A and B are shown apart, each in its own frame.
Chain A
Amino acid sequence: MTATSGPATGAPVDRVDGRLKVAGAAPYPSDVRYPDMAHAAFVRSTIAAGRILAIEVTAAEAVGGVQAIITHDNAPRLGRAAASVLGPPPPAPLQDDRILHNGQYVAVVVADTPQQAAEAARRVVVTYDRAEAALDLDDPRGESVANPFGWDAARGDVEAGLADADVVHEAVYTTADNTNNPLGLFTTVAAWQGDGLVLHDASQWTSNVRTTVAAAFGLPEPSVRVHAPYVGGGFGAGLRAWPHVVLAALAARVVRRPVKVTLTRPEMFTGVGHRPSTVQRLRVGAKRDGELVAIEHEALQSVAMEDDNLEPVSGVAADGYACANLSARDIQRRLNIPCPGSMRAPGHAQGSFALESALDELAYELRIDPLELRLRNYAETHPQLGLPWSSKALRECCAVGAERFGWTARDPRVASMTDGRWQVGYGLAGVSYPWWQVRCRVRVTIGADGTADVRSAATDIGTGTYTVMQQLAAELLGLELSQVRVGLGDSDMPWSPAAGGSGLTGALGNAVHLACKAVVERLGELGRRTGESYADVLARRGLTELSTDAESTPPDPQVLGMAPSGAFAAKFVEVHVDRDLGVIRIARIVSVVDGGRILNEKLARSQIVGGTIGGIGQAIFEETITDAETGRIANATFGDYLIPVNADVPDIEVTFVGGPDRMTPTGTKGIGEIGLAGIAPAVANAVFHATGRRIRSLPITIDRLLQP
């Protein structure tokens, strides 16, 4: 490496796109305008199951400016792409008269202005033949799919372990549906240019949008170009190319004009996924000294009738603790609901609530400190693979967290600590979140002026990818930060996996590492002299630029002889509960995270803080409510669906421990989800400590606490 005075990664560099964003100059999809652009609005089903009998459009067509009304009667048949790592793409919309969930798109109205489109959409009258809908996880009419991902885990003999246990804790834990709710309403702008299609889309994965849309219209993939340079948040909602994306392209083709569609907030509750509700049954057996001898974790979750969602819930039990006897099983039940999708820490958000609550209950039954119980069952090696971890500093997370939080000041008796009318409780949880390792490509180009461009189809959804990749490339190339430009969010750039699954920093970072190394080597081959600038080398060799593509591929654990460990964290929470009124306030949270090598401490901290706030929402606020009769979302607004406001967010202390992971050259681990995982159980455990009330259902609300 030729590093000279490049900025050290890890430095708390301000995000490079911060000024653009604050000034309103960052071009989000909703800012895109084309001359002669038309606007689309949707008509959505008001029933959850059945058939469309008729769609009356006369009144809608009478609204000024209406260009087209597209329904299943006149929409062309569309294709469906092959499955990605997340599973198959959503079924193509408007293909038949069947209704599978409330909120399903049944028509698209295209007009000259968004107001005309919305008004005309309201005037479309749809009559239905309504069928009985399956809406409840308990509804036996919904088809059950066992082991839906093929990831169920088992080892040892659970029944024998339970028989051998001194104490067995058995309980059922439930979690509510939650909705991602990125602040930015998802927008797609579609413009056909000849036989090619340009999309501007609020996507976390441009390459996936290109694949889905190309298959829908039978186009070769290179004919579709997807731009997502800036996205107003996603939290997983932007991982798939949802039906509105395909419909924007369809509408543009029908009216032969560019078409823009921006989802309404209520549409964001039915059209772009949500975290599915779960019912989880735990049986945990332990010896008197706290040694875990059996864990059985069975997790039932909801999924759509004809769409799929990768949501491994019980996997947290398989990887969490050293326990010889384990069974971790997932079951999905098909219901007439909008399809769930990834939402920050998918599966783990729900699974860790059940597992870490159960361990807390077990600790009380055994009269062992909850932190001590976890340390006694610390998994020194990967409990399922039997391989050493590529890195694991969870023990340090626990020790540092306990120290910073003041865990030893906790009176172990429940309902023992007070502050005036407030009952005070301490709770904790230990968690991990893997990083999704997928191949990723990047192009690094040195220009004639000696500066570098890093380009990838990857997206920065607000997490700081632009910034950390600029830092990483500058360090590897030995350039100043200002001498590196990072271009993202364009599917014509080298293929990238999603900004999701805590995986992008690793995948893209390792690709950047390989590409930069290759560029530096190539410069050496060109006879670069010590201290000679890149510009001089290129000039001397008569080159206008030097460009290299590289691809990172996930390492094979068996070949490396180590288990990819993901991030670890210990979460410590203090809650206050009003003893008469049941009001819950979170007083402080200490998170200690082993995130591997941290490329930018400031942005990493911001990720953890944001995830923690999402965890507060899951713990005490968020619940997407479905009407039992109609399947309609009953609280699809920001006034009714509660997410934390500033006043709900206490001091959040974040500390990083551990060091570079051994798995990959950059040494990073993903930290996008680890901030959220574990907050809900730590809150529930603290509420129990404060009040003696064990709440096994999320969210933990005043009415649940007041129930006798």
Chain B
Amino acid sequence: MRPFEYTSASDTAAAVEIVTGDPDAAYLAGGTTQVDLMLKDGVVEPRRLVDITRLPLRGIARIGDALHVGALTTMEELAADATVAERLPCVREALLHGASVQLRNMATIGGNVLQRTRCRYFRDPAVAACNKRAPGSGCAAIHGAARMHAILGASEHCIALHASDLCVALVALDAIVHVQGRDGERTVPLTELYVLPGDRPDVENVLVHGELITAIEVPLLPAGARSGYVKIRDRASYEFALVSVAAALVVEDGVIVQARVGLGGVGTIPWRARAAEQVLIGGRPGRALFAAAANAAIIDPYTVEGTRFKVTLAERAIVRALEDLVA
């Protein structure tokens, strides 16, 4: 562990000012990713940590047809929210299928959005080839133990998975990220926050250094919508997804009028399966339609030996998630 300076911020603008002005500074919220990366794995080495947990960014408010979730709200708090339970079951289920209850009591929603990949090739400094950690050095994972890696948005440059469950639901719901920077506030649709790795896997999102996520705005589903989250993994708890699906349908008069599908466990970023949604909209719910949607969802996967099974598994999981909604 490299020695670092610790500061506890009491004012949001001041925190943003410190981090923006210091390229070696980073925010500390729940710490469930950051502490691992620094203390156990030694792959990030900020010289200054700015603890933001005392900032007034915690809490959930319904404003019109959206939920405004403060960035410091914990995963457990959001999962326990009555509106989430009633109107956004896919968010609740995604949260409760994530991590462990101990982690969910610490981990924040803002931190969840910006969590780093669990790729053990990225997280072990003894591995030389990692384009995400050392641009241009290559990717050891494509020849390695790749079972937990991505097949969508992946390439020979990087197959690191974005392992969030929550964000799979949030991209499907068109959540909006509220960001505060030195020059003021802005909003970014979550689907546009992440940057596909391409040949620069070290660039993960559109935020500039020092910008702080202050809230996530989650539009509510229509009252008659059904939504859910299916997560497939070896263990029944405390494991990242091999494949997961967040799905929402609005069915009127036997016809699907609105469809939302997000995929986890397969993407270098939380994956929105818009092609699958297009197949669903206007169709009548049923196994044939769901299979067609699933077939359309996985476009040009980049697979290696360890991830080849994910194509089939993802297609079957999409069918399962949709069937569960209309059962």
Contacts and interface: CB of A to CB of B under 8 A. Distances in A.
Interface of A: 46, 115, 118-119, 122, 264, 580-585, 620-621, 625, 627-630, 632, 634-637, 639-640, 642, 644-648, 701-703, 706-707
B316 interface: yes
B264 to A, nearest CB: 15
A645 B232 contact: no
B208 interface: no
A264 B240 CA distance: 22
Interface stretch (B10-18, B119-127, B273-281): B119-127
28 contacts: A119-B2, A119-B3, A580-B316, A581-B317, A620-B234, A621-B235, A627-B144, A628-B143, A629-B144, A632-B124, A632-B127, A634-B120, A634-B121, A642-B235, A642-B239, A644-B235, A645-B238, A646-B237, A647-B237, A648-B235, A648-B236, A648-B237, A702-B234, A702-B309, A703-B309, A706-B309, A706-B312, A707-B309
A634 B145 contact: yes
Given A627-B144, A706-B309, A645 B235 contact: yes
A634 B144 contact: yes
Which of A46, A646, A701, A702 has most B Cβ within 10 Å? A702
5 tightest A-B CB contacts, nearest first:
A647-B236, A634-B145, A647-B237, A703-B309, A625-B145
Contacts of A118: 1
A644 B126 CA distance: 28
A50 to B, nearest CB: 15
B140 interface: yes
Given A635-B145, A702-B313, 14 more contacts: A581-B313, A581-B320, A584-B234, A627-B140, A628-B144, A629-B144, A630-B127, A644-B235, A645-B235, A647-B235, A647-B236, A702-B232, A702-B234, A706-B309
Given A118-B1, A634-B120, A646-B237, A583 B232 contact: yes
Contact of B242 (A639, A644, A702): A702
A616 B120 CA distance: 25
Question: Which DSSP category, helix, strand, loop or mixed, fits chain B's interface?
Answer: loop
A706 B148 CA distance: 16
Interface in B229-249: 232, 234-240, 242
A169 B283 CA distance: 51
B213 to A, nearest CB: 24
B147 interface: yes
B237 A640 contact: no
Interface string B126-160: 11000000000000100111011000000000000
A647 B233 CA distance: 13
A581 B237 contact: no
Contacts of A701: 234
A644 B232 CA distance: 16
Given A119-B2, A635-B145, A702-B232, A640 B118 contact: yes
Nearest to B127: A632
B71 interface: no
Contact of A645 (B3, B40, B237, B320): B237
Contacts of A634: 120-121, 144-145
Nearest to B128: A46
Contacts of B40: 264, 637
A625 B141 CA distance: 13
B140 A629 contact: yes
Contacts of A637: 40, 120
B125 to A, nearest CB: 8
A637 B121 CA distance: 13
B319 interface: yes
A30 B320 CA distance: 48
A646 B124 CA distance: 29
Contacts of B3: 119
Contact of A580 (B234, B309, B319): B319
Nearest to A627: B144
Interface in B144-185: 144-145, 147-148
Nearest to A103: B126
Contacts of B147: 703
Interface in B242-284: 242
A582 B313 contact: yes
A122 B40 CA distance: 11
Interface string B266-307: 000000000000000000000000000000000000000000
A640 B234 CA distance: 11
A630 B145 CA distance: 12
B35 to A, nearest CB: 13
Interface string B100-128: 00000000000000000010110011110
Nearest to A620: B234
Given A635-B120, A640-B118, A703-B147, A581 B232 contact: yes
A98 B190 CA distance: 52
Nearest to B310: A703
B316 to A, nearest CB: 5
A629 B141 CA distance: 11
Which of A46, A620, A703 has most B Cβ within 10 Å? A703
Contacts of A702: 232, 234, 242, 309, 313
